[in-house]
Amino acid sequence: MVIPVHDVNPVRRTPWVTYALIAADVLVFLTTPGIAGAVAGGSDLVRLCHLQAFMDHYAAVPRELIHHQMPRVVPTGSVGVGPHGPGCVVAPPGYDKSPALSVFTAMFLHGGWLHLLGNMLFLLIFGNNVEDRMGHIRYFLFYVVCGYAAGYGFALLNAGSTDPLIGASGAIAGVLGAYLVLYPRARVWVLVPFLVFLPLRLPAWLVLGFWFALQAVYSSGHGMSGAGTVAYAAHVVGFVAGMLLAWPLKPGTPPPPEPPGLLFGRRARPHYSW
C-alpha cells in the first residue's frame, strides 16, 4: 500500500472543519478510558475492562443498528473474580443507548495509535480540498452523512454481529471518494515501499483508485472491525457515497495544477506549501 504524504492542490481558505475533526479525534482518543490507562499505567485487565465498557456504550454495533436488540448485560468497567479467575464484571446496562446516535459517536473512536494516525493522515491530505470546494458547513454535513452511510451499510451486511464498529474510516472514505470525483488529475506525493520508501508523484485517480480496489477486494469477506480486523465493507460504502454526493459539484470545480510526468528519486522531493 502506498503512503500519501502531500498533494499538489492548493486551497483558497483555511480548512477549519478538517482541523477541528482531527483535533476532536485526537482528544477523544487521549481521553478514552482504556487508552488513558495505558499512558498513565495500571494493569492490563483493568484497562481492558474500562475500554470494553466504554466501547460497548459509544461504539456502533450492527445488531443494535438493524434489529434494535440491546444486550441484556454489558461490561461495567470493573474487575472481578469468577469461577475461571479474574475478568470483567458484566451487568444490565445502566444507561439508555441510542443506536442511531452511536454511529456518530463511533466516528471519533479509535482502537490504537496506528488506527488513529492512519485515518488522520488521509483526512488531512484530502479533506482540505474537499472542504474548500464544498464550504465548511456543507463539508461537515457531507462527512457525517458518509459516516452514517458507511456504518449502516456495514451493519446491513453483518446484521447479526455484536462486534463494535469504531473509527472515522467510513467518513474519511467518503472524503476520498469526493476527492477522486472532484480532483482526479491532482498529483499526490506518495511513499512506495520498494526495498526503501521510494517517493513518487502520482495522479489522484491512480492513488485513490488503487486504494478503493484494495478495499473492494478485502471486503469480499465482509471484514469485521473487531480485534485485529478491519471493516473494509464500510470503506467501500463510504467511498461510493462520497463519490455520489460530490458528483453534482464536479462541473464547477476548477482543475488543480498539473505538474508533468511521474518523478522519483531526488527530483521527486516535494516542496511543501501549507
Fold of 3-31+96-221+228-251: Rhomboid-like fold (1.20.1540)
- Each residue of 189-232: pLDDT tens digit? 999 887 778 888 999 999 999 999 999 998 876 444 443 468 89
Mean pLDDT of 167-184: 97
CA dist 195 and 139 (Å) reads 39
**Integer Rg of the chain from CA:** 20
The residue extents of the domains of the chain are: 3-31+96-221+228-251
Average pLDDT, the chain: 86
Phi, psi of 224 (to 5 degrees): -85, 170
Instruction: Name, in order, each residue with C-beta under 8 angstroms of 274's C-beta and a sequence gap of 6 or more.
Output: none
- pLDDT at 65 > cutoff 90: yes
pLDDT given for residue 225 in this prediction: 42
Cell numbers that stand for 150 in this block: 458507511
Considering the entire predicted model, what is its pTM?
0.86
| Three-state secondary-structure class, residue 191 | strand
Confidence of residue 107 (pLDDT cuts 50, 70, 90): very high
- Each residue of 9-29: pLDDT tens digit? 999 999 999 999 999 999 999
CA dist 167 and 171 (Å) reads 9
pLDDT given for residue 23 in this prediction: 98
CA dist 90 and 94 (Å) reads 11
Residue in the structure block whose three cell numbers are 441510542? 98
Q: In 3D, which of 244, 219, 241 has the Cα closest to residue 229?
A: 219
Dihedral sign for Cα atoms in the order 125, 28, 238, 17: negative
More confident residue, 111 or 1: 111
